[in-house]
Each structure stands twice: as C-alpha cells, then as structure tokens.
Amino acid sequence: MVVLLMLNLYRTGEGMGYRPKSYYKEAGEAMQAHPEIKGKVVYNIAWDTFPELMLYRSDCDYIWGMDPMFTAAKGDRDARRVVGFMQNDMTEWGSGPQDVVRILREDFHADYLFVYDRAAERKRYFEIKRWAELGLLEPVEQRVEYGFALYRIPPAP
C-alpha cells in the first residue's frame, strides 16, 4: 500500500513537471571519492546538507541533521554552539579558530568538518580555508566553485 502511494505521488509530481533535485550532488560525489572517511564523525555546519550527505555517505556519523529550531529548543551549550556556528555566531566557541578546532575534536569528537557556503562571496568558506592554512585543519576536498570543503580535524598536538 505504501509503495503504491509513493509511486502515485511520484507520478503525480512528474505529471506536474516536478523532479526531485539534488542540491549537493558534487559534494556527495566528492565525499564518496574518499574511502578513509568511512565510519568517521563528520561535523556538518549547515543542517540542511545532512539528508543528501547521508544519502551519499551513510557510512559516516553526522553531528547535525535537525532543523535549527528544534536544536535551539534543546537549549544546552552544545545546541547553542551548533546553531551559532551555522549563524556565524561563535560566542560559545572560545576565542578563536584554535578553540573551535579543539572543541570540534574534544567535545563533539568530530573527525572531519564539512563546510557548505551558499553565499556568492563564500566568506565562511574562505574563513575556514584560512584555518587550514594556519595548520589547524587538513584539507581533504576543496571545491570553491560549488562552495564546499571537507577538512580532516587532526589529533591533538
């Protein structure tokens, strides 16, 4: 019954000209090209990247896949950090990029940081790229034309 309903919805959408669209295809395919991330924890800054990242790399664990409104409702420090990072409010993250990377590693137990920046100027993308240039992160995949990057979070020094 459920299968028939889904088929009916798909066909109806198709008849109206609706086709599902993949927004992060290039990012998903790039992540598939890196077998070393299998079983690792990925901190994804933008919550709405989660469904497609999960589709392309279901063998990873993701820090965030919940609507920010529900995350914020939890109200604890981790929730404030997650929502803050998405909104570029780093007040809960310490005094600079070194603190952010330490918190990602020690508090969130993240192995990788996935960055997706939709803005035309890619301000967030280039800010985090600078963290890698400082030696705080290790670039795995950087695709400025699509606005995404994947960084390995190195072990504590």
Range picked from 5-14, 103-112, 116-125 for highest mean pLDDT = 103-112
pTM > 0.75: yes or no: yes
HEC secondary structure over 104-136: HHHCCCCCEEEEECCCCCCHHHHHHHHHHHCCC
Tell me the two tokens of residue 118. Answer: 């939709």
Percent of the chain exceeding pLDDT 90 equals 48
| CA dihedral over 72, 31, 125, 101, signed as positive or negative | positive
**Residues 4-58: tens digit of each pLDDT:** 666 565 666 565 555 556 677 888 899 899 999 999 999 999 888 888 888 899 9
What's at 145, amino acid-wise? E
Let me know: does 138 contact 97? Beta carbons within 8 Å.
no
Q: Give the model's confidence band at 73: pLDDT under 50 very low, under 70 low, under 90 confident, else very high.
A: confident
In this prediction, residue 88 carries a pLDDT of 87
Tell me the two tokens of residue 61. Answer: 């664990």
What's at 91, amino acid-wise? T
Q: What average pLDDT does the chain have?
A: 87
For 88, list phi and psi in degrees, rounded to 5: 65, 30
Q: Where do the structural domains in the chain lie, given as residue ranges?
A: 24-152
Let me know: does 156 contact 106? Beta carbons within 8 Å.
yes
Statement: 24-152 belongs to CATH 3.40.50: yes
In this prediction, residue 5 carries a pLDDT of 60
In this prediction, residue 40 carries a pLDDT of 96
**Residues 60-70: tens digit of each pLDDT:** 999 888 788 88
In this prediction, residue 72 carries a pLDDT of 81
In this prediction, residue 119 carries a pLDDT of 83
